[in-house]
Amino acid sequence: MDLVQLGRKRPKSPAPGDPRARFLPTTREEMELRGWDELDILVVTGDAYVDHPAFGPVLIARFLEGRGFKVGIVAQPRWDSPADIARMGTPRLFVGVAAGNLDSMLNKLTAQKKMRSEDQYSPGGRNDMRPNRASLVYANLCRQAFPGTPVVLGGIEASLRRIAHYDYWSDQVRRSILLDAKADLLVFGMGERPVWEIARRLAAGEPVSALTDIRGTAHAKKNRRAWEPLLVPENVSRFTTDGKLVVLPSYEEVTTDKKAFAKMSRMFQYETNPHNGRPLLQVHGDEAVYFNSPAEPLTEAEMDGLYDLPFVRAPHPSYGQERIPAFDTVKHSIVTMRGCFGGCTFCSITEHEGRVIQSRSEDSVLREVRQLSRMGGFSGVLTDLGGPTANMYKMTCKDEKTESACRRLSCVHPGICENLVTDHGPLLSLMKRVREEKGIKKVFIASGVRYDLAERSPEFIKELAQHHTGGQLSVAPEHSNDRVLDKMKKPGIQSYERFAQAFCQASDEAGKEQYLVPYFITGHPGSTLKDSIELALYLKKHGMRPRQVQDFIPTPMAVATTMYHTGIDPLNGEEVYTAKDLREKRMMKALIFYWDAVHWPLAREALVKAGRADLIGRGPHHLVPPEGAADRLAAARRGPSAPGGPRRPAGPPSRHGRRRP
């Protein structure tokens, strides 16, 4: 269905003199300013209300408003009473519930299961503005506030918890979030197509119980009589791409049998291509969850339409001058595309946004650039021009027929597919047009750059170094060990080294002193203490002192999370070692900070445990020095309440993240 052609007349907006005129209503008073007696749709979100397309629930709300529906937003409601959610009255069609831009547990807790010091999506960075498992809490409040009104779950938390899933923070397998929330429907993936069909069909008088065939949605079948007839042999797939129903191992099976959990994970992964993904069914006791095939990706015109919506690109006036950290990050950035065909096992972008790259046109991007340039406070600097992976812009399969039939989980691993068009020409053209736009002084590319693709385009690397890097460029080699990188579905370290050499050369030719800031992951499935020592030795050998190190967090639905929970690689059935002891995970991270005295005690403990005490000493081949005065100085520098993360070394880093001589 074309999201550009159809739509209804947009509802009346309030008088332009009111500072809230350009925002969606959040209170009864703001509804009255528009002359509204009731809402068609209410969107409840766990994030602060920032009217910006980078905030997913707001994007959906604006999308629905653009199709003629009266949409209101309740942001970060109180969770001790339904009164806050009910303040604008019962919506006519449905209430949509989203935890926010992040899974609420990931947003609140670290890999060490400790409270994060800041919630970037809350005013003032406060970390008490949303509950744990926000989707469940909000859905329960909505049922209390609006009895009989359909409740539709959406957003990344619901999307990535739609099947039975391992939850790291409780260390248990949980049911589909749809059942625990007792919602009527669950929208998974990017929700524009399914949410509009839900709204249109409800507005046409269909009951929510009839909305069982919408792509990109899941619904519950409440008893055996509803789902057992689907399991007759002629309906059920036998591992062929026949369009029939795929029955996943049941919740009871995956809870008690890790091999069944791994099988479920593998089966699910192969049904995420919207062009050939089949419907799924998973039984939970007497109930079952039915998943329609994924929604079709948006066309370029539809993507353009999304970003042409009248976003204010600012927090709601009710926050006053209170800072919302996530907005500071994105307010002068431009999204050019969505989706990722990388298939990295530790990342859930593919499972949520899809493998098909959906890009905006150059003209659409330029319209947004011009809008930004007219806004107060804009200095002429675009902080980012990109998306999940900046240099996948407009990359696609060589033809639709091949893409529709493809069952690969990654277009770039174990090698770049011969059918993938890796031309950086469209991106180069866009970069040039944006930086030459009137009022633009500098355009940075701060999004991730896939360097195995980038090294195929020397011109892109040259342009990146000359015009779009602000002294430092972040890249993510993640590890140095080929076996660990294979479990991540990342290219070998040699690819990073080739890119680094090309980037350094391009920077020299541009007359610029610029540096790479490499990201690494510790504790990833497949990685041992010895592998972490190997990585630390690699870093020291190359003079690299990384500051961006992520302790692996098993997030719902990721392939690496299955490895963590089961000890099995679901894609090939191999056994996989995973560090689960939190102290061992801290030791792995400490080794990567071999250069920082704060981490020396734990790094020494790791070396002794791994039988590599020979690396403790003061020679050039040692990793960390013996215990001494430096440890006491580091402890004093850190202080009793300071975080235990790395401290910035003196002097600027080199182009590989090392301190310059």
Whole-number pLDDT of residue 636? 61
Cα separation, 136 vs 528, in Å, equals: 36
Whether residue 454 is contained in a domain is answered as no
Q: Which stretches within 436-528 are classed as H helix? A: 451-454, 458-467, 482-488, 493-509
Please choose, from the candidates 428, 475, 456, 521, the residue with its C-alpha nearest in 3D space to the C-alpha of residue 655.
Answer: 475
Per the domain annotation, does 428 fall within a domain? Answer: no
> How far is it, in rounded angstroms, from Cα 543 to Cα 523?
22
Q: How many angstroms separate the CA atoms of 50 and 62, rounded?
A: 12
On the CB side of 327, how many CA atoms lie within 13 Å of its CA? 22
Domain end, chosen from 245, 276, 291, is at 291
In a domain, 213, yes or no: yes
The position carrying tokens 């062009």 is: 275
**Of 275, 291, 307, which residue sits at a domain end?**
291
b vs e for 386-408, b when ≥16 Cβ sit within 10 Å of the residue's Cβ? bbbbbbbbbbbbeeeeebeebee
Q: Which residue has the tokens 């002429």?
A: 380
Q: What is the pLDDT of residue 4?
A: 53
Distance CA 373, CA 385 (A): 14
Q: How far is CA 410 from CA 113, 386, 451, 475, 496, in A?
A: 31, 20, 15, 19, 18
Q: Which CATH number characterizes residue 252's domain?
A: 3.40.50.280
301 φ, ψ (degrees, to nearest 5):
-65, -40
> Average pLDDT per run of 10 along the chain, which is 661 residues long?
50 61 93 94 98 96 96 96 96 97 93 93 94 97 97 97 97 98 97 97 98 97 94 84 91 98 96 93 97 96 96 94 93 94 90 92 96 90 93 94 91 95 97 95 92 96 96 92 96 96 96 93 97 97 90 95 98 96 96 95 96 94 85 58 32 31 24
Query: What tokens does 384 get?
Result: 């980012």
For CA atoms 454, 459, 462, 465, give the dihedral sign. negative
Q: Residue 635's domain spans which residues? A: 502-661
The answer to whether residue 377 is domain-embedded is no
Sign of the CA dihedral running 372, 376, 381, 383: negative
In terms of Cα–Cα distance, which of 420, 372, 369, 423 is closest to 396?
420
Q: Are the C-beta atoms of 291 and 278 separated by less than 8 Å?
A: no
Q: Which two tokens stand for residue 411?
A: 């277009």
Q: Is residue 150 part of a domain?
A: yes
Q: Is residue 518 part of a domain?
A: yes
pLDDT for position 237: 85
Q: In this structure, is residue 62 part of a structural domain?
A: yes
**Strand duo 381-382 + 442-443: pairing:** parallel
Q: What angle do CA 343, 61, 376 make, to 5 degrees?
A: 95
Evaluate whether 352 touches 157 at the Cβ level (below 8 Å): no
How many residues in total does the chain contain?
Answer: 661
| Three-state SS annotation for 178-236 | HHHHCCCEEECCCCHHHHHHHHHHHHCCCCHHHCCCCCCEEEEECCHHHHHHHHCCCCE
Q: Which residues contact 568 (CB under 8 A, 6 or more apart)?
A: 258, 259, 262, 562, 574, 575, 576
User: In the 3-class helix/strand/coil scheme, how is 535-561 assigned residue by residue?
Assistant: HHHHHHHCCCCCCEEEECCCCCCCHHH
- Burial class (CB within 10 angstroms; exposed 0-12, middle 13-18, buried 19+) of 178: buried
* pLDDT at site 239: 72
**Which of 51, 52, 10, 50 has the alpha carbon at shortest distance from 34?**
10
Report yes or no on 90 lying in a domain.
yes
CA distance 89 to 41: 11
Confidence at residue 637, expressed as pLDDT on a 0 to 100 scale: 60
Question: Are the beta carbons of 409 and 360 closer than 8 angstroms?
Answer: no
In whole angstroms, give the CA distance from residue 520 to residue 616. Answer: 23
The count of structural domains within the chain is: 2
Residue 361 host element (H or E): none
Last residue in a domain, options 238, 270, 291: 291
Q: Residues 343, 346, 351, 352: is their CA dihedral positive or negative?
A: negative
